[in-house]
Structure 1
Amino acid sequence: MTPERFDLLTRRHRECLRGVRELKGSKEIAAELGLGKSTVDGYLTEAVRLLGARNRRDAALMLAEHEAAEAREVTEKEENTDPDKIMHDSARLVSPADAVPIPSAPDGSTVGGAVSAGHVSAPPRLNLPIRRRGQQRNDMGLVERLLWIPTIAVGLAIGFGMLATGLDVMTRVINAVAGHAG
């Protein structure tokens, strides 16, 4: 896991992932942060995509490991600092950071959205009424579930209509061919 992926996470992404790490549900995290449950779910979903994790639990564990490694680095740096130096190491001029690569999932597909000034603007994601690979359960709200019922019904009606039309056309073609042959 490259540290650049963690740089894409905002403060809210990190706060929500820390709540997951503490085994809190979305409602508890939302109450703590003063956000709506769906907002917390959105932050967690986006964080999972940005980190290329399988689910929110894995993303929380990845962030915890990353933060622990950063803490170890800071501690080691402080232990190796000479107090007699005039300039601290961080006061040196540094070259500009390399461009942050676009994150990709383990299967090679692109994840996340456009990165601008450290903030990720991902396109809105359609919540499907099925559980995705790596999810424990589907996190859709009641309104989203209720909106899917007529959507699926209309889709089925259109599909059945297309099937009936296709069968009708095939029947006419077969009758026309049989009429010319006989």
Structure 2
Amino acid sequence: MSIEAISKLTARQRDCLRLVLHHKQSKEIGRELGISPMTVDNHFRSAIQTLGVSNRLEAALMLASYEGDEPSQRLTSQPHPVVSPAESSIMASSSDIGDGQREMTSALREDQVPYRTYREASFVDFPLPVPTRGKPRNDLSIAQRLFWIAILIFGMGLGAGALLSGFAALTNIALALKH
């Protein structure tokens, strides 16, 4: 391992390589760092060339071993936390809050956590096939997708049956009035 080569890496290259060890793809890394996926890939290419390795994983592992493989390594380009360590004990637990609010409440004190109604709390974990405020991405499993397809087919059949039944009833009423 060349310490000189690692010292030539830029802060952004190091940030990108650290996120590789968290199993993130270029799109996710770009979203987290506020840069495009192409820029992330350019950082990877430069880092791979600088370190003389064959892929991004080798480069990330080399950086991790150089830095002492500290699992909670902060990204250098991200701001410091809003809450001081002394206040962190009074922060709200993010386990009882929906996915969309976790990032927002991680830096809030307990009295600043948004109020959740019973309705919001009851539907947080129910997988819907449409994007919601709490879950903007479709992360349904194959079984959940098949379940929703079956529900939609059943609902459409039920609706078509009700419509045909209504037409039949109207036809019977029209025939009764005619005679």
TM-score, normalised relative to structure 2? 0.37
TM-score, normalised relative to structure 1? 0.36
Name which structure has the greater RCO, CA cutoff 8 Å, separation 6+.
1
